[in-house]
Amino acid sequence: MAKKNTILICNGAACISSGEERIKEKLINKLSEKNLTEEVDIIETGCMGPCQFGPLMIVYPEGSFYIKLNEDKIARIVEEHLLKGRPVKEFTWATPESRRIGEEKKQLPFFEKQFKIVLSNCGRIDPDSIEEYIGTGGYEALGKVINEMTPEQVIDEIYKSGLRGRGGAGFPTGLKWKFAREASGNEKYVICNGDEGDPGAFMDRSICEGDPHAVIEGMEIAGYAIGANQGYIYIRAEYPLAVKRLQNSIQQAKKYGLLGKNIFGSSFNFDIEIRMGAGAFVCGEETALIASVEGKRGMPRPRPPFPANHGLWDKPTIINNVETLANIRHIIIKGSNWFNSIGTEKSKGTKVFALSGKVNNTGLVEVPMGITIKELIFNIGGGIPNNKKFKAVQIGGPSGGCIPENSIDVPVDYESLTNLGVIMGSGGLIVLDEDNCMVNMAKFFLDFTVDESCGQCIPCRAGLRQMYNILNRITRGKGELEDIDRLEKLSNIIKKTSLCGLGQTAPNPILTTLKTFRDEYIEHIVEKKCRAHVCRFEDAEVKDKDEKILKVS
């Protein structure tokens, strides 16, 4: 007998933290009281997106989207909607799907301007069910490449799509695969970088929690393309739910013959293992990540040689992040021309962002490349809470930089952001308002990179500490005007001479805030004033990160 209703409950980490387990228990109890247990199918999904409004659930076949659930709302939904068939209209919102087919329902502004490719399954399927993934076209792309395409054709299709690495650097994915394919050697590897370490970032975690098979399928296609038979997913141990769902998906894929030996009855073999990182930010850098997978301390090495030629165990290796790999199956099925038509001339497709900070609608969003910062914050994000004034947005975490109000109409793509002196990074967006001190924010991110530096090269190990000490003095009222010149000089030296991306990008928050908010630095130094009332100056002791002070003339 078919169930009358299907309920999708968001089981992403944000909804879990806001009480999803308690809401589910209340729902089950109420259904039992009304003798509706056999008529309702409850499915826990990954992140639905609007974390600010959790716990969330959708009731089908009506597609009623219920937000900010509590026990009283659950009782009423069971009584009115599930028992009597009358959706509770006063807190019913439209799903993105119902909006597209023109149904008359209130629409959360959060979904406006979004275009979901990578997140198309997240919040819509049971991430622990391979059957549901297959039902959405899952593993169709893998079957296509194995049975209908040569490895060279796969690489060419990815290259023509214009897909660039979503981990931050934006290197063309097809070109990286081509280098690995052409590298000499019969033993090659594919690594999925799920080490997402930026403060405020949760894109890769949510993809692994909500659509883990898409990551696995992307890795298999990459393996077929470059001639690899082994893959590794490197993921933070702090993501236990993502790890659990990936492990389950790997076992399911093996059971169905979609991972392992003779996939789709072919001669192609591919297996995947999970390696958990211990939370070192530097292991997001690909050579440090490789060292960690090998069981060594995660420390970067000079490049060249690049991993595409000499990577894991000195074998040709490609490293793509979670979001990059989750795009692959869609490109193979829908074609490079389809993907190439989305985004801007040089930045194709969509980008997933974690929107957080001083914004009304926080959560996980996916938008076409080229959308403006203003649209992200004021349309999707719903603006700044409590009628506060927007001040800036920190993009890309400690490696990114600060985008001020006067650049709010800049499109979000690789080239435009580079022209501003920032990088996209993996996709963290932290919105700041008038109550944020920009000098203190720069110190916060530098404090993070100082602690996360592996200490291997002097510019990063010593230079970042010296910069932190200068910022610490400024925020304690002990700075001098010459400190501004010292910060700029140190920043440029460290960017040019550091061994890896951590040191090369760590000065970005300082340089971008100095460029736009220099007056705040001067106020802190000359007037002993913090306009945001964050920094304290009265008789504060200044504790440096290191007793030794480098002299910068």
Q: Where are the alpha helices (DSSP H) in 298-434?
A: 322-334, 336-340, 373-374, 414-419
Label the pairing between strands 401-404 and 189-194.
Answer: unpaired
* pLDDT tens figures, 57-114: 999 998 889 999 999 999 999 999 999 999 998 878 766 555 444 445 566 788 888 9
Considering the chain, tell me which residue range(s) the CATH 3.10.20.600 domain(s) occupy: 350-433
Q: How far is CA 72 from CA 78, 79, 445, 518, 525, in A?
A: 10, 11, 41, 51, 53
Query: In the CATH hierarchy, which fold is given to the domain comprising 5-109?
Result: Glutaredoxin (3.40.30)
CA distance between the termini of the chain:
81
Q: Count CA atoms within 13 Å of residue 127 on its CB side.
A: 33
Q: For each of the chain's 553 residues, which pLDDT tens digit applies?
A: 457 899 999 999 889 999 999 999 999 999 999 999 999 999 999 999 999 899 999 999 988 899 999 999 999 999 999 999 999 988 787 665 554 444 455 667 888 889 999 999 999 999 999 999 999 999 999 999 999 999 999 999 999 999 999 987 789 999 999 999 999 999 999 999 999 888 888 999 999 999 999 999 999 999 999 999 999 999 999 999 999 999 999 999 999 999 999 999 999 999 999 999 988 899 989 999 999 999 999 999 998 999 999 999 999 999 999 999 999 999 999 999 999 999 999 999 999 999 999 999 999 999 999 999 999 999 999 999 999 999 999 998 888 899 999 999 999 999 999 898 888 888 889 999 999 999 999 999 999 999 999 999 999 999 999 999 999 999 999 999 999 999 999 999 999 999 999 999 999 999 999 999 999 999 999 999 999 999 988 654 555 555 444 444 3
Write the CATH number of the domain with boundaries 438-527: 1.20.1440.230
Considering the chain, tell me which residue range(s) the CATH 3.40.30.10 domain(s) occupy: 5-109
* Residue 412, SS3 per DSSP: coil
Adjacency order of strands within the sheet including 189-194 = 271-277, 230-236, 189-194, 317-321
CB distance 179 to 306 below 8 Å: yes
Per-residue burial over 377-412, b = 16 or more CB atoms within 10 Å of its CB, e = otherwise: bbbbbbbbeeeeebbbbbbbbbbbbbbbeebbebbb
Q: How far apart are CA 292 and CA 295, in angstroms?
A: 5
For the whole model, what pTM was predicted? 0.93
User: Across 82-154, where does the E strand assignment appear?
Assistant: 92-93
Label the pairing between strands 5-10 and 57-60.
Answer: antiparallel
Spatial neighbors of 377 by CB under 8 A, at least 6 apart, are 355, 359, 383, 384, 390, 393, 408, 429, 431
In this structure, CATH architecture of domain 350-433: Roll (3.10)
Considering the chain, tell me which residue range(s) the CATH 3.40.50.11540 domain(s) occupy: 130-340
The two tokens of residue 186 are: 């019969």
Closest CA to 367 of 111, 73, 12, 84: 111
In the block, residue with structure tokens 């979901």: 116
Q: How far is CA 422 from CA 176, 193, 401, in A?
A: 23, 22, 5
Query: In the CATH hierarchy, which fold is given to the domain comprising 130-340?
Result: Rossmann fold (3.40.50)
To the nearest 10°, report the CA torsion of 361, 61, 69, 15: -60
To the nearest 10°, report the CA torsion of 500, 423, 350, 281: 40
* Residue 478, SS3 per DSSP: coil
Query: Angle at which helices 173-182 and 151-161 pack, to 10 degrees?
Result: 150
Q: Is the peptide bond before 459 cis (omega within 30 degrees of 0)?
A: no
Q: How far apart are CA 145 and CA 327, in angstroms?
A: 15
Q: How far apart are CA 96 and CA 8, in angstroms?
A: 14
CB atoms within 10 A of CB 292: 21
